C-alpha cells in the first residue's frame, strides 16, 4: 500500500523519535514500509532511524540497479547489507556485499553503492569531535 507524501517533508513515512536514551526497531517492518513507498520505485529510498549530533543510523532500501551516486561523508561509516546484495565501490576497490556482510570506511573517501538485487542496507555514520 503506497501512502501519499507529506507536502512539507516529501516523506511517505512517519519520522518518529530519532533521539532517546533507548531506541528499538523492527528492521523487517521498517524495510516493508519503505518498499511500499512510491519513492522506492525510482531505485531507492531511505529512512533515518537514529539521529544524534555525532551519530546516525539510516535504513536504505534499493531496487536492482538502484544507486547511491559517488559521494563522501565527513564521518566514518559502516554499511551492512541486511537483505539482497550490493556493490560498494571506492576509487581503489569494488567490494561485493551480500546479506550478512559489512564494510567500514574512513571519512572523506569517495564511494558509491549499487544494488544487484532488491536490497536493504543499514548505514551508520559517526562524526569525530562533535559535541552532543
In a domain, 91, yes or no: yes
pTM of the predicted model as reported, rounded to 2 decimal places: 0.85
Overall average pLDDT of the 16-37 stretch: 93
Q: What are the pLDDT digits (tens) for 50-68?
A: 999 999 999 999 999 999 9
User: Is residue 5 assigned to a domain?
Assistant: no
- Number of domains making up the chain: 1
Which range marks the domain in which residue 98 is found? 27-126
CATH number for the domain spanning 59: value is: 2.60.120.10
Which pLDDT tens digit goes with each residue over 95-124?
A: 999 999 999 999 999 999 999 999 999 999
Within its chain, how far is the Cα of 125 from the centroid? 10
Q: Is residue 9 part of a domain?
A: no
Q: Is residue 44, in this structure, part of any structural domain at all?
A: yes
Q: Mind listing the pLDDT tens digit for each residue in 2-17? A: 334 444 444 445 667 8
Report CA 47 to chain centroid distance, whole Å. 7
112 forms beta bridges with 89
Please compute the mean of the pLDDT values over residues 35-56 and round it to a whole number.
Answer: 90
Residue 59 lies in a domain: yes
Indicate whether 7 belongs to any domain: no
Q: Does a structural domain hold residue 48?
A: yes
Residue 109: inside a domain? yes
Residue 125, SS3? Answer: strand
Pick the closest to residue 125 from 114, 115, 111 (CA basis). Answer: 111
Residues near 116 by Cβ (< 8 Å), separated by ≥ 6? 64, 84, 85, 86, 87
CA atoms within 13 A on the CB side of 94: 4
Question: Grid coordinates representing 114?
Answer: 549499487
pLDDT at residue 5, as a whole number: 47
Amino acid at each position: 500500500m503506497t501512502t501519499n507524501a507529506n507536502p512539507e517533508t516529501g516523506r511517505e513515512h512517519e519520522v518518529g523519535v530519532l533521539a532517546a536514551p533507548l531506541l528499538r526497531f523492527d528492521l523487517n517492518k521498517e524495510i516493508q514500509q519503505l518498499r511500499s513507498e512510491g519513492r522506492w520505485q525510482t531505485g531507492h529510498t531511505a529512512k533515518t532511524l537514529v539521529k544524534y549530533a555525532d551519530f546516525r543510523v539510516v535504513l536504505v532500501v534499493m531496487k536492482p540497479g538502484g544507486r547511491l551516486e559517488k559521494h563522501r561523508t565527513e564521518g566514518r561509516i559502516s554499511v551492512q547489507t541486511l537483505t539482497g546484495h550490493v556493490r560498494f565501490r571506492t576509487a581503489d576497490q569494488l567490494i561485493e556485499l551480500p546479506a550478512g556482510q559489512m564494510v567500514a570506511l574512513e571519512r572523506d573517501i569517495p564511494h558509491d553503492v549499487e544494488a544487484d538485487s532488491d536490497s536493504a542496507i543499514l548505514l551508520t555514520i559517526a562524526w569525530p569531535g562533535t559535541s552532543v
